[in-house]
Amino acid sequence: MFRCGPETRPPYLAWKGGDCRVPEDRFPTLWSGSVAVIRMPPEVDVTIADEMREALLSVLNLGASAVVVDMTRTTFCDSAGISALVRASRRAAASGAKLRVASQVPAVLRLFTLVGVTQVVGVHPDVAGALGSLPRSYPRTPDPGSGLDAGAPRPAEG
């Protein structure tokens, strides 16, 4: 079970690409060690796809070892949203991180299946399932000196 406290983000970490900006008002992010759960809005379309991509890439740039994209309340996603997910998936793979999606909305799942997202990204019915799909040996807590918030909520073991 994933236990969440107040939404937190690790302190700013410099990276070679510039500063990291996660639009927290539109994409709230919860951290559990070095695992980020980022909530998507009810509609993901071309009007917010750039911000979505920025939010997903920013948590990876902040050092997330895994990202769960919470689309459990998303009822619409267009090709721009799919593109943002695929780009984030590629970045995660390149950095050794994992990307999972939580969604059980039939229209969204059908789109993911039709365009092949389910072959690239693990899709689970809820956030707990997505977190549970991460290998047990996968780092869920920050390395000492990483600058990530060691006091952030963590998934319960067992």
Q: How many residues does the chain have?
A: 158
- Work out the average pLDDT over 26-54: 94
**In the predicted model, what is the mean pLDDT of the chain?**
79
Question: What are the Cα distances from residue 20, in Å, to 8, 67, 126?
Answer: 15, 16, 27
pLDDT at 10: 46
Q: What is the pLDDT of residues 2-21, one digit of tens each?
A: 333 344 444 433 333 444 45
- Work out the average pLDDT over 146-155: 38
Partners of residue 77 on adjacent β-strands = 44
For the chain, domains (ranges, CATH) are 29-132 (3.30.750.24)
User: Which tokens hold the place of 69?
Assistant: 């994209």
Q: Which residues contact 114 (CB under 8 A, 6 or more apart)?
A: none
How far is 48 from 58, CA to CA, in rounded Å?
15
Lowest mean pLDDT among 30-44, 46-60, 105-119, 129-143: 129-143
pLDDT at 138: 52
How far is 116 from 27, CA to CA, in rounded Å?
24
Q: What is the pLDDT of residues 90-143, one digit of tens each?
A: 999 999 999 999 999 999 999 999 999 999 999 999 999 999 999 765 544 444
> SS in 3 state form for 12-23?
CCCECCECCCCC
